[in-house]
Amino acid sequence: MPQRVLIAGTSPLLAGRLAARCLAAGERAADTEVVLLSVVRSRPGAPAPGRRELAGFVTEQGSGAEGPDALDAGRLTVVCVEPDGVDAELKAWTAEQVWCVVPGWDRSRARGARADAALAGSLLAALPGLGARRYVQVGQDPAPDDDRARRSCRDLERPAVEACLDSGVSWRMLRTAPVVDARAPALGECPPGAHRLLWALDSVRAEVADRVPDWFERQPLRVAGVAGLGLPLLTAERAAGELWRAGAPGDLPDGFAAVPRPAPVPLTDVLARAGAVHGIDVRPVPDRADFNAVDRLLDLRLTGVRRQAVRLRGTAPAGPSGAAEAARSGGPAHGTARSGPDGTDTATAATGAGAGAAQAPLPPSADGTAPSDAPSSLSPAGQWELFGAVRAHGASPDAARGTGGLRRRVVDVAGRPLVLFEGGTGEGPPLLVLNALGQGPGFLTRLCAHLVPHHRVVTWQVRGTEREDPPWGTRHQLDDIDAVLAAVGAERAHLLGWCTGAKIATAFQQHRPGAVASLVFLNATFRQNDRWDGMDTKYESDLAAVCRALDRRPEKAAWMLDLLAPGAAGGGGSPGARDAGVLGVLSRALADEVRRPFRDAEVLVRYARQLVDLWRLDSAAQAPRVAVPTLFVCSEFDGISSPARAREAARCFPHARYAELAVAGHYAPHDRPALVAELITEFLRAPREVADLVRYAEITWHIDTEGTAR
């Protein structure tokens, strides 16, 4: 009778490779059925793979070294389920052996810990109903200095051991260090360590190249804090093989084991090779004193990479605090190396204990062969090949093309056409995206492309600046929102306002409180005449002077067109902020969009009068009555809308969260669409918890207490 193995995991990469091992291993391979249960919540920038994609990945792995006949599609069932659907799905299955693959690789620690704990809890509760006789849990083997991750790992292992003992189920608790694999980006994964390093380089390169394509042909990228550190480069194939060896045999005793780490590769070497693959000259420097904005951005994105790194033998942190840092990091250097029988370097350092027990060596395989002390390090040539493959698999289509996956349609409102763009099929209220006054849809197409897979998104062409438009003040903008709600058949919606859209969204919430589920403000301007004096950016001051003059003397519009240069704004930041440099340059894709309100005298007059009307609106008086969750997302280098004023405005909203993006400008929704979309998506799912769920080094959360921003 065939035996069934259930492999459930939050890592499709590792769970898929284990499924391939299971289907191809041992004499009973032909009698084994595998159910691969992928429990991954898709999010912007990291879409979860579908059933066909995962099945193809497993088949591809099994048709390699194990031979073309190792996998039979009839013996593999792939199920992709949302976290809240796991309990119901498990009721449909029985399995002799259950694998829980929870390596903790989510980029957000808090989100990853919750997802891993939820899956493990569901599987453990279901063990009696599944009829399981053996349970294997694969968790993370944290870096030696990462005490927080070690506590999280133990918190997962303890209840698992207790549940297995109570149920009379044999168990193995296994750990693995983060892996590197060319297919990880295609499966929506970015494990800690090498993958986060490659992502950091590629994301910085893309953000700079969007402005100045040849920047890195003339400029190096400087890094600090990497001397004396190394990364173990463990391939997913090797990790899956060692895990299967340690957990699959049914006659193994209960206990703990971990995949040995390869000897760490100096982080300076990894950065140099990864930089070359991306066409970047990466130069280590002793400190951050002379960092420009691009260097700072990379430094922030490498924060987690440094946390995963280990100190190389015989090195100590630079500077007078080196001894103290060494003591905090665990004393002696980690990753002691020796020469293996084939001349490669192997690591002999211990990998840590599980749940307070001593770490056991990996057991022999079913054929009696013993594993090596540790996998060999990737050769320089292997690193070149792997890093290049990761970049190739991570390439994605340009989300800026078209309208971000939105369909265009025209509806009649007040006897005039209103152009709508809509897409997506998310559950719950739709997300209405209020563009800035005078702007076209191009500013938000990248953001909408990342939002559409998760939400029903609707935006429209803001009226009032085209030559054929009648005067269109704030009251008319509220009427348009009413009309959009009716057109999409929704009684309630989330409102997202970019720039001037924030004040209009606030006014609509007061106009129809029951129709608004939440508010999101991106790079919001809350400018109001005679309020919050002294907080204007230079651009806001200049714009206000021009608009007031044109409201009184519209005949002067022709010679005022050249007074404003919006393409040069956006990188000055708050008073006293460091220069944004190349990150303050306007994206080439926005060159025409940003000139839209300034293309001729008549349009400029209409735009000026819309702004003058908006500045009369007292949002500060309205804000205390806003009873829905509100998210502010602003930018350190916003030289158009004042971040200082946005922070003051957030104080007035009873349920506000305020996030500031480091080294970002006014057009952050365009420049960093995946990150901004992730903030929005997690906020709409869990508004009270968003500051914990999306906590990265490049985001500063300004929160004192519940509902109070600072």
What is the tens place of the pLDDT at every residue in 505-541?
Answer: 999 999 999 999 999 999 999 988 776 667 888 888 8
- The answer to whether residue 64 scores a pLDDT higher than 70 is no
CB of 314 closer than 8 Å to CB of 333: yes
What per-residue confidence (pLDDT) applies to 563? 65
Least confident range of 329-333, 389-393, 516-520: 329-333
Q: Longest Cα pair distance anywhere in the chain, in angstroms?
A: 91
pLDDT of residue 233: 95
| Residue 365 CB partners (closer than 8 Å, separation 6+) | 245, 249, 371
Residue 317's pLDDT is 57
Output the pLDDT for position 205: 96
Strands 416-423 and 457-460: antiparallel
Structure-block tokens of residue 400: 């800026």
Q: What pLDDT, on the 0 to 100 scale, is given for residue 626?
A: 96
- For 250-286, the pLDDT digits (tens) are 788 999 999 999 999 999 999 999 999 999 999 999 9
Examine residue 37 and state whether it is found in any structural domain, yes or no.
no
Residue 367 lies in a domain: no
Taking 90 as the threshold, does the pLDDT of residue 440 lie above it? no
Q: Tell me: pLDDT of 309 over 70.
A: yes
Residue 502 has pLDDT above 80, yes or no: yes
Name the average pLDDT for the chain. 84
Least reliable range by pLDDT among 51-55, 227-231, 706-710? 706-710
Q: What is the mean pLDDT of residues 655-675?
A: 95
**With 60 as the cut, is the pLDDT of residue 575 above it?**
no
Residue 21: inside a domain, yes or no?
A: no
Which CATH number is 520's domain given?
3.40.50.1820
Instruction: Indicate the SS3 state at residue 98.
Output: strand
The pLDDT of residue 441 is: 82
Helix (H, G, I), strand (E, B) or coil at 117: helix
Domain membership flag for residue 575: yes
Quote the pTM value: 0.88
Q: H-type helices in 524-666, by residue range? A: 538-552, 557-560, 601-615, 619-622, 643-652
Task: Using the predicted structure, report yes or no on whether residue 458 has a pLDDT greater than 80.
Answer: yes
- Position 417 scores a pLDDT of 87
Among the listed ranges 101-110, 333-342, 619-628, 647-656, which one has the minimum average pLDDT value?
333-342
Q: What is the DSSP string of 260-307?
A: PPPPPEEHHHHHHHHHHHTT--EEE-S-STT--HHHHHHHHHTHHHHH
Taking CA atoms, 149 is separated from 105, 110, 115, 145, 646, in Å, by 11, 11, 15, 9, 35
Poorest-pLDDT segment among 302-311, 365-374, 621-630: 365-374
- The answer to the question of residue 689 being in a domain is yes
Q: pLDDT category, 348, cuts 50, 70, 90?
A: very low
Tokens of 106: 């989510």
pLDDT of residue 203: 95
Say how far apart CA 587 and CA 666 lie, in whole Å.
Answer: 11
The answer to whether residue 696 is domain-embedded is: yes
How high is the pLDDT of residue 399?
39
Segment 403-413 shows an average pLDDT of 82
Contact 345, 339 (CB under 8 A): yes
Range of weakest confidence among 572-581, 629-638, 642-651, 658-667:
572-581
8-state DSSP, 624? G
Band the pLDDT of 343: cuts 50, 70, 90. Answer: very low
Residue 591 lies in a domain: yes
Could you tell me the two tokens for 6?
A: 């259930």
In terms of residue numbers, what domain contains 598? 407-709
Total tally of structural domains belonging to the chain: 1
* Bridge partner list, 284: 223
First to last CA, the chain: 64
Residue 77 falls inside a structural domain = no
pLDDT at 574 over 60: no
Mean pLDDT over 391-398 rounds to: 66
Cβ 521 vs Cβ 502: under 8 Å: yes
> Has residue 148 got a pLDDT over 90?
no
Q: Residue 325 — very low, low, confident or very high, per pLDDT cuts 50/70/90?
A: very low
DSSP assignment letter at 694: S
